């Protein structure tokens, strides 16, 4: 995978950090400025047993790998429980911005995309099929009940 020269990469990381400080998004970042922990407030849902309940605080982790800003250089994980068609049960996030990656995409762009994803789930392009079925049933006005499947260990 391509990589920026070290000096330019570090300058880019500083630029990303400066942009995030101005963004108004609540976050923490490690000293190297490669591991962002973002906090959002917005309505989402989580699957708690057989019950779907609302959740209003969310945390997301954005990892900038050495390949950043090139494709494959960013990993995004939802770290708080969420039941969402575009977020896997393990917290992997699927947003169009990551699929159509460009080196000009910033951490702030990703943060904005995550807020949009929370507000506008896309059950037609799911990572979590069970959540997609639930959201489609909501759109139809007939919320599907959630069954807890036994876990095989």
Residues in the chain: 153
**Of the residues 4, 60, 94, 114, which is catalytic?**
94
Euclidean distance between CA atoms 46 and 6, whole angstroms: 41
**Non-local CB neighbours of 11 within 8 Å, separated by 6+ positions:** none
Q: Coil, strand or helix: which one is 65? A: coil
Which residues in 14-26 are b (16+ Cβ under 10 Å) and which e?
eebeeebeeeebe
Q: Has 150 been annotated as catalytic?
A: no
Q: Which of 20, 28, 18, 37 is nearest to 75 (CA)?
A: 37
The rounded distance, in Å, linking the Cα atoms of 125 and 135 is 12
Active site positions, annotated: 94
């Amino acid at each position: 995978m391509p990589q920026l020269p070290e000096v330019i990469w570090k300058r880019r990381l500083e630029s990303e950090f400066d942009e995030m400080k101005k963004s108004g998004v609540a976050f923490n970042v490690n000293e190297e400025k490669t591991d962002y922990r973002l906090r959002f407030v917005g309505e989402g849902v989580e699957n708690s047993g057989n019950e779907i309940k609302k959740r209003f605080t969310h945390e997301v982790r954005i990892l900038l790998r050495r390949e950043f800003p090139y494709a494959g250089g960013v990993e995004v994980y939802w770290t708080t429980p969420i039941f969402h068609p575009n977020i896997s049960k393990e917290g992997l996030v699927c947003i169009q911005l990551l699929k159509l990656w460009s080196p000009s995409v910033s951490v702030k762009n990703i943060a904005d995309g995550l807020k949009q994803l929370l507000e506008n789930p896309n059950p037609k392009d799911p990572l979590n099929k069970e959540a997609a079925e639930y959201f489609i049933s909501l759109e139809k006005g007939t919320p599907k009940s959630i069954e807890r499947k036994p876990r095989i260990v």
